[in-house]
């Protein structure tokens, strides 16, 4: 008899290994976005993925392994500072610095997973968060180290200033869904634009200061070589007060 039993539930198609892993990572992503990394558990992943826990354990030996591989899939930090050939040519000027900072702001602002990862790092200390922090530190140092030579001899600590700007981006992005900060809400485009404009102003002042210091050093060197002040002022664009001050 070729009749189907109406009371028999249809079986779902069997998931392949790659589909199982995808469903697990999709479930992790859903939990992270909605509840945060700290809420992750095998049982909750099982619920989100509609999958038996035994199936999850067949593919991953522990929750830690799932989290590690989930984070690695996104290559979170390295992707922010990978230079293409076009950027390589202007890798240490004002435009490249500002572009990299804005790319980071855009990336962290849009990625709920990143925001939750920052919160998790600040609230929990384990080998996963330690590893993520160390990896990010290497990438951030590689980014700011490129500008150290550019600011050499100016007395400006570009690494410290970069740390302040980047940490502000992290905090404002992680905080944006809670409440405004100092009267500015970065949840919408208006507040985000205010922050971008302000960062642009800070970076502009930073590079302007660097250029003034270097121009001043050149001017003083010219004076030491007995070049008239009027000529020095014309060549450097500095006033007498700026040169001698």
| All structural domains of the chain with their residue ranges | 17-74, 78-210
> What is the pLDDT, as a whole number, of residue 49?
94
- First vs last C-alpha separation in the chain: 102
pLDDT digits (tens, 9 = 90+) for 110-146: 888 888 888 888 888 888 888 888 888 888 888 888 8
Strand, helix or coil at 112? Answer: helix
| C-alpha span between 222 and 109 (Å, rounded) | 48
* Token pair in block for residue 160: 């410290």
pLDDT, residue 85, reads 42
Residue 66 near residue 24, CB atoms below 8 Å: yes
Of 81 and 201, the structure prediction assigns the larger pLDDT to: 201
Q: What is the pLDDT of residues 65-123, one digit of tens each?
A: 999 889 877 655 555 555 444 455 556 688 989 988 998 898 888 888 888 888 888 88
* Residue 64 near residue 130 (C-beta atoms within 8 A): no
pLDDT of 208 higher than 60: yes
What per-residue confidence (pLDDT) applies to 83?
A: 46
Mean pLDDT of 220-232: 89
Q: Compute the distance between CA of residue 67 and CA of residue 77 in angstroms, rounded to an integer.
A: 16
Tell me the whole-structure pTM to 2 decimals: 0.77
- What is the percent of the chain where pLDDT is above 70? 87
DSSP code at position 79: G
What class is the 17-74 domain? mainly alpha
**The pLDDT value given to residue 13:** 65
Q: How many CB atoms lie within 10 A of CB 71?
A: 21
Which range among 5-19, 99-113, 143-157, 171-185 shows the weakest confidence by mean pLDDT? 5-19
Q: How far apart are CA 181 and CA 99, in angstroms?
A: 24
């Amino acid at each position: 008899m070729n009749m189907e039993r109406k009371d028999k539930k249809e079986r779902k198609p069997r998931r392949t290994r790659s589909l199982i892993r995808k469903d697990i990572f999709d479930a992790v992503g859903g939990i992270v976005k909605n509840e945060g990394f700290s809420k992750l558990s095998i049982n909750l992943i099982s619920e989100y993925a509609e999958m038996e826990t035994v199936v999850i354990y067949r593919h991953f030996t522990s929750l830690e392994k799932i989290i590690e591989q989930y984070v690695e899939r996104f290559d979170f930090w390295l992707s922010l500072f990978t230079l293409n050939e076009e950027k390589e040519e202007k890798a240490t000027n004002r435009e490249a610095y500002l572009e990299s900072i804005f790319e980071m702001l855009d990336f962290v602002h849009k990625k709920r997973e990143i925001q939750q990862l920052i919160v998790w790092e600040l609230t929990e200390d384990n080998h996963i968060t330690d590893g993520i922090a160390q990896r990010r530190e290497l990438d951030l140092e590689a980014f700011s180290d490129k500008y150290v030579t550019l600011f050499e001899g100016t007395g400006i600590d570009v690494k410290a200033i970069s740390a302040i700007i980047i940490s502000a981006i992290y905090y404002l992005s992680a905080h944006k869904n809670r409440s405004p900060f100092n009267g500015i809400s970065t949840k919408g485009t208006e507040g985000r634009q205010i922050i971008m404009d302000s960062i642009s102003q800070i970076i502009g002042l930073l590079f302007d200061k660097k250029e003034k210091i270097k121009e001043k050093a050149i001017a003083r060197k010219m004076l030491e070589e007995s070049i008239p002040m009027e000529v020095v002022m014309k060549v450097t664009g500095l006033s007498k007060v700026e040169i001698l001050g």
